[in-house]
Structure formats: structure tokens, C-alpha cells
Structure 1
Amino acid sequence: MSSPAPIKFTDGTAYERFMSPWSRSAGTLFLDWLARGSGLAWADVGCGNGAFTELILAKSAPASVCAVDPSDGQIATARQKFSTKPVELSIGDAMALPYDANRFDVAVMALALFFVPDARKGASELVRITKPRGVVASYTWDIVRGGSPTQPLWEEMDGLGKPALRPPSADVSRFEALKRLWAELGLRDVETRELVVQRTFADFEDYWISMVVSSPSGPLGRLSNAESEELKRRLQARLPASATGEITVHAFATAIKGRKAA
């Protein structure tokens, strides 16, 4: 059986409005939980436009960061952010990373593992590039339990008979699947944690532009004008607004970390 095709986010600017605020909120909780010291070598696999990479620089004082993503558009956006920072950016495949074995103190995938067509191969690559006793970690939206920020959009697209494209390895977002995978790869001292975040939009139009119009999956491109208007109506009816018109959306992610054997 062939592997599912990878999902690539090619527009770094649109992604900045769509997912980067979510990435920063969850990423901050994730880095606090990892609690790594300063002066370490990090690998950020599936870095997108560099939202999580920025957090590593700000919160972890790394000696260096190597960040890789399959999208040249995302990497081009990231290059604009890190021209004077200790970040090495590469276009590459998470299932065949362009790094030597035993190179990094910390190797992470932030909101990326479930986009890898073969999640086990992607995780094994994280282990390969990590030094003995180094940390291998990941967090993904808990798609199976409806934890993605895009869950309302997905469900309403489904209701229109236009199913939204889900990540190809969504099942790996389950705690049970993550713990089993980390154990199979020989990682030790494995811990997990749920990361709960929220994002408040100024009004429904802010939500619509950020989460629908800016979505890299381009859902509106597959809808007629009438279907787009119906999707907008459904989402506005579904998402309660405060007295001032603000809309708050919640999301939750599954996080895991483990240590490579000596």
C-alpha cells in the first residue's frame, strides 16, 4: 500500500495569520515543560515559517538551531526572520533528514508529526539525529478527540459534503499511539502531557479571515459562492460571540518527550 501524499503549507505569510498564534501559545507550554538548559544544539523538524523556532531562540538560549521544512515558501518566510540569528534553515523531508547521526541535544517536531506520511519513520529520524542521552519530543493537536483549532471548520465542511483534508497520520496524535511509538524506538524516561490553549478573535470576520480564508488547505477554493456563504453562516451560528463580539476558540494537543539511550 502506498503512503498518503504529504500535506505542504506553501504560503508562509498566510500560515502566519492562520496557525502561528496557535503554535506560539502551545509552543510556550511545550518548551516550559521540556525545561531544557541553555547552550544546547536543537533540531526543529517541520519548522514551517519559523514560529516555534522563534520560541526556541527566545526561551531556551540555544547554541544553535537547525530548522527544516519541506516547503520552500515556508523556509523563504523563515529566512526573513532569522538572517542574523544562529539558525540553519534547510528544505528537507522529515523521513530523510539532512543531518548526521548523534548531532543534536534536543530534536523536536512541533505540530508536525501527524503531517509526516510515515510517522514512525519521521520519529525514528528524530532519534537518529539525537545524541545519546538527548531528548526527543513532539506535540500535535489531538485530532482524534477533536482538539485541533480547525475542528469547527472541518466539521462544517463535512456537513456541506465537502470533507476537509486531514493530516495523513492523525492517529499518532493519540497518547496511546505516541507512547507506543516512543517505546518502540527505545526512548527512556518517557512522559506525556496535554497542552490546552485558546485564541480570541476580535469578531467573526477576524476568525473567518484567519482560520478560513488564510487556511493553507484552501477550503474556499473547492466551494461555490453559495457553499462558501453557507459555510460562513454555519460557522457564525456555531461560534458564540461575547457581548463585545469577540470569539474565543479552544484547542488541545498531546505532547511527549523521552530520552535517547546512552
Structure 2
Amino acid sequence: MAGDMWAVGDAYEAYVGRWSRPVAALFLDWLDVPAGRRWVDVGCGTGALTGTVPAVADPAEVVGVDTSEGFLGTARERVRDQRVVFRVGDACSLPLPDGRFDVVVSGLALNFVADPARAVGEFARVASPGGVVAAYVWDYAGGMAMMWHFWEAAASLDPAVAERTEAKRFTLCRPEPLEDLWRGAGLDGVEVRALEVPTAFADFDDYWTPFLGRQGLAPSYLASLPEDRRLAVRDAVRDRLPTGRDGSISLTARAWAVRGTT
């Protein structure tokens, strides 16, 4: 995945990775793959989806592939299952044989790939005949409320910021482009659906601190600002968040999922 976006597992986990596991479980429930199948997770990152597969789908084997050694290090620490192995590899040129896997999945990664169409072609190549090829990405156009509130607040102070958001950069993360990608790869029975999970924060610090991690578009933008402007953005975000009487903040995160078969 894109090295300029993510390299350190801990920063990713604190910012958005903690919401990856619940959406991974929803995704696997939707796929409803029988036990004993061979899986590959492309762009596995810190292992949220890879680690959920053994718990939910009882696979014969799972291979997690990612370009980031930092992410893979975190994944190996977190996922301790003898059926799971991790490999360095590029989604656009998978180091895997043709037709080897019954299920090829990718969670929250496809929008970071340089050539998504080529990547989905690789997914189809390594899938066995009749195999499942599926992925999901965050709905950056408005479904990721934690990011949406940040960017709306930042844009209220500087309208030019609207051009720097995930929604502008990751236009793939909508139902129509995802469906077109899957059909373009020659996959059959293509379906797209929404997956939504709650994202609850104990208080404003729980929400805000991950934005100080300097990885991802919003944290990187924040880090580029002088201190006074960072504080102004912080205060603008605080003012617009729906905060409960106890200080808690309840938001939602939506992903778009797509599936097809070879």
C-alpha cells in the first residue's frame, strides 16, 4: 500500500485501526464462506481482517500480504494462529500462484493501491475457479463520521482544505466505481452493500489524540499547521461534535463492500 500514507502500525491502530475489526466481522458474516477454505488477504495491514478470518470462518489457511514491513510486524505480533502466514507483496503483482485460493479478500486497502484495476485482476488471477473475490473500503464521502467532522471543521477555517480530503482523493470508495472494477475484472454475480459500525469515544481526548499521530491525510494535514492553527482546528472540531452529557461522543463508520466470483 502507499508508503506515504501508512508505515507504523501503532499510529494506524490508534487512529482508524480500532474500528477495522468490527467491520471485518460484518464483512465475513456477509461473505458466509464455508469452513476449510484457503484465503488470502491483500493489503492486510496490521491484520484486522486476517486475524478475524480464523475466528469467524475456520479456514484451512490464510495468507496476509502487504508492502509495509511495519504493518506486517504489528500483524505478526497480533495474529497468533498456525494457519496464518504473512508475506511482503504488492497488490498489483502478487507473489502467489494462479488459482491457489478459494477466497481473495482485501479490507480497507484498495483505495491506496496505485492501479486498482490491475490489483483486482490479480485478485481474480490467484482465485480458484468459482472462488470468491471481495473487498471493502471506508465510505469517505460522508460515512466515516470521525473524519467528516474533522474536515468540515478544518474547511470552516480554510475552504481550500476541502480539496485535500479523503473524499476528494479516494473517489473509488463509492458503490458504482467498486462495481465497475469487479465487472471489469470479469467477475460474476457482483454485489455491493454497506457495512456500518458504531465508533464510540469516551471523551474528546479519546477522539482527538489519534489525529496527532501524523499518519493519514487528516493527521498529516494537522501536523503541517503552525501551533495556533492546530489549536483553532481542534476547537472548531470540538464545537461541532455531538457530545453527550458525560462527555462521550457516539459516531458511526460506514464501509462499502463488494463481492463477485470467478
User: So what's the TM-score if we normalise by structure 1?
Assistant: 0.90
Q: Residues 63 and 86 of structure 1 are in contact (CA less than 8 Å); yes or no, is this contact kept in structure 2?
A: yes
3-state SS of paired residue (1:186)? coil
Distance in 2 between residues matched to 1:19 and 1:42, nearest whole Å: 24
Counterpart of 2:197? 197
The answer for the alignment partner of 1:115 in structure 2 is 112
Whole-angstrom CA distance in 1 between matches of 2:156 and 2:200 = 25
Tell me how far 1:154 sits from its aligned partner: 2.9
Deviation of 1:156 after TM superposition, in Å, equals 3.0
Q: Which amino acid aligns with 1:20?
A: G
Distance 1:228 1:69 in 2: 33
What SS does structure 2 have at the residue aligned with 1:150?
A: helix
**Using the alignment, how far apart are the partners of 1:152 and 1:83 within structure 2?**
36
For residues 42 and 250 of structure 1, what CA distance do their matches in structure 2 show?
A: 29
Once the two structures are TM-superposed, the CA of residue 92 in structure 1 deviates from its matched residue by 1.6
> Which stretch shows the higher mean deviation, 190-199 or 100-109?
190-199
Aligned residue in 2 for 1:214: 213
1:8 shift after superposition: 3.7
The Cα offsets for residues 62-112 of structure 1, whole Å up to 9 and x where unpaired, read as 111110111111111111123553211112211111111111100011111
Instruction: Look up the equivalent residue of 2:143 and give its one-letter code.
Output: G
Q: Alignment RMSD, CA only? A: 1.9
Partner of 2:68: 71
Alpha-carbon contact 1:8-1:70 (below 8 Å) kept:
no
Contact 1:114 1:168 in 2 (8 A): no
Which residue number in structure 2 is paired with residue 259 of structure 1? 261
Q: Which moved more, 1:13-22 or 1:70-79?
A: 13-22
Structure-2 change in CA distance of 1:83 and 1:24 (3 Å):
closer
**What is the match of residue 185 of structure 1?**
185
In the superposition, relative to structure 1, how do residues 6 and 14 fare at CA in structure 2: closer, same or farther (>3 Å)? closer
Q: Measure the CA separation in 2 of the matches of 1:24 and 1:83.
A: 16
- 1:235 aligns with 237
Name the SS of the counterpart of 2:244 in structure 1. coil
- TM-score normalized by structure 2? 0.90
Give the distance between the partners of 2:189 and 2:85, measured in 1 at CA.
29
Structure 2 stretches lacking a partner, 5+ long? none
Aligned residues with identical type, % of pairs: 38
The alignment of Structure 1 onto Structure 2 pairs a total of residues equal to 254
CA 1:70–1:8 in 2, change beyond 3 Å: closer, same or farther?
farther
Q: Which amino acid in 2 is paired with 1:228?
A: R
User: Shift in Å at residue 252 of structure 1?
Assistant: 1.3
Query: What letter corresponds to residue 199 of structure 2 in structure 1?
Result: R
- In the other structure, the counterpart of 1:57 is 54
Distance 1:81 1:183 in 2: 35
**Residues 16, 102 of structure 1: alpha-carbon distance in 2 compared, 3 angstrom cutoff:** same
Find the counterpart in structure 2 of residue 99 from structure 1: 96
Question: Contact conserved, 2:3 with 2:68, CA < 8 A, in 1?
Answer: no
SS at match of 2:65: strand
CA distance in structure 2 between the partners assigned to 1:209 and 1:53 by the alignment = 27
Write the letter of the residue equivalent to 2:256. T
